[in-house]
Amino acid sequence: MRRLALIALLAVCGVTQAQRALRIPPVRPGEVPPDVAVVDVDPSFPVRVHLLATRWGGLASVYHGYGSGNLVDAQGAAGFDYGFECEVPFVANETPQETYQARWKGPFKLEILTAEVGPQPHFHTCTLDLAMEKRPFEPANTAALSHGVSSALRKRWQDPDFAYEEPSPDYPIHFHAIDGQREEDPFADHGWGTANLAEPGAPAVQGAEYKYDCSYGFITNSQLSGFYQGRWVKQGVQIEVLLQRPGSDKVDKCTVDVNLQPQPYPQSRHIAVSPSARASVGGGVANP
């Protein structure tokens, strides 16, 4: 009996020690209430930004996501896309007059001030990695962002790239990504969706199902009039698109497999291409 009791005691101690060694269970998106804009003015955050959209996912104390917004100042508004990795997520501004207080942390980095919801909220900051747009966002020209955010960090979160805005004559194709999904693994960024493709000299705009496997992936165009600049790698089969990496002036390239359709797609088809259908769009090419 004493031996059995000793074994039971050791087992209980082992379980207790194992429980103490365990970290806090992963936090799933939605279980932590997102922060909101701070109302009281903080002079150390003199910049004002209006966030139109935000998406996020995460595990534990790391939340990652992307969105779009406008920088508001005396000279008017300037549009930007952004990616982030922060301890607490946040919501987009609810009204056109509402803004987040912010300050510059670098040429392409903006730190916003956020607050928990409640009578005595804790304040947080989050640094947004920016990719500037040529024009500000307007309600009539703002697309509904597709999901595109993984809630499992199989590797360190990597912000999606956005459309490179400086004109490049060697990339004459206008590739407008309408809907899409993306996921990451330790080797590459994988994406698929639907798009419209306009080419100089072509009689009409064509639809395209697409997929890619690249070091840096991208999401749908956040402006309805936006597009990725591209060029043919294999005529009618593969195009190479130019990407803007958020938080820097680095330009990336991604080879995209396309399955052309005779008719263009309407805006926001809400992921017409499922993961199981990706195999029908040729083999992907990974870029270093």
* Domain match, 183 and 266 both: yes
* Domain match, 166 and 271 both: yes
> What is the pTM for the complete model shown?
0.80
* Domain match, 49 and 122 both: yes
* Domain match, 272 and 223 both: yes
User: Does 14 map to a domain?
Assistant: no
Q: Which residue has the higher pLDDT, 31 or 120?
A: 120
Cβ–Cβ contacts within 10 Å for residue 111, how many? 17
Q: What's the average model confidence in pLDDT over 56-81?
A: 85
Whether the predicted pLDDT of 148 surpasses 80 = no
User: Does 92 map to a domain?
Assistant: yes
* Domain match, 166 and 248 both: yes
* Domain match, 126 and 234 both: no
CB 137 within 8 A of CB 66: no
* Domain match, 115 and 166 both: no
Whether the predicted pLDDT of 18 surpasses 90 = no
User: Does 28 map to a domain?
Assistant: no
The span from the CA of 237 to the CA of 256, in Å, is 8
The tens digit of pLDDT for each residue in 70-119 reads 999 767 789 999 999 999 999 999 998 999 999 999 999 999 999 999 88
User: Does 189 map to a domain?
Assistant: yes
Closest CA to 52 of 82, 12, 13, 89: 82
Q: Is 57 left (phi over 0), alpha (psi -120 to 50) or beta?
A: beta
* Domain match, 42 and 102 both: yes
The tens digit of pLDDT for each residue in 252-284 reads 999 999 999 999 999 764 433 444 334 444 433
Of the pLDDT bands very low, low, confident and very high (cuts 50, 70, 90), residue 21 is: very low
Strand partners, 69: 51, 80
User: Does 10 map to a domain?
Assistant: no
CB 37 within 8 A of CB 101: yes
Which residue range forms the structural domain that includes residue 228?
162-280
User: Does 254 map to a domain?
Assistant: yes
Cβ–Cβ contacts within 10 Å for residue 27, how many? 15
Residue 155: what pLDDT?
Answer: 54
Give the domain-ending residue among 141, 175, 190.
141
Give the domain-ending residue among 107, 141, 175.
141
Of the pLDDT bands very low, low, confident and very high (cuts 50, 70, 90), residue 38 is: very high
* Domain match, 187 and 224 both: yes
Q: What tokens appear for 119 in the block?
A: 């009578």
CA dist list (Å): 266 to 105, 192, 239: 39, 17, 21
The tens digit of pLDDT for each residue in 233-253 reads 999 999 999 999 999 999 999
Give me the number of domains the chain comprises.
Answer: 2
The span from the CA of 241 to the CA of 228, in Å, is 6
- Residue linked to tokens 């195009």: 239
Q: What's the average model confidence in pLDDT over 120-141?
A: 92
* Domain match, 101 and 135 both: yes
* Domain match, 136 and 53 both: yes
Of the pLDDT bands very low, low, confident and very high (cuts 50, 70, 90), residue 151 is: low
Q: Which residue has the higher pLDDT, 163 or 25?
A: 163
User: Does 20 map to a domain?
Assistant: no
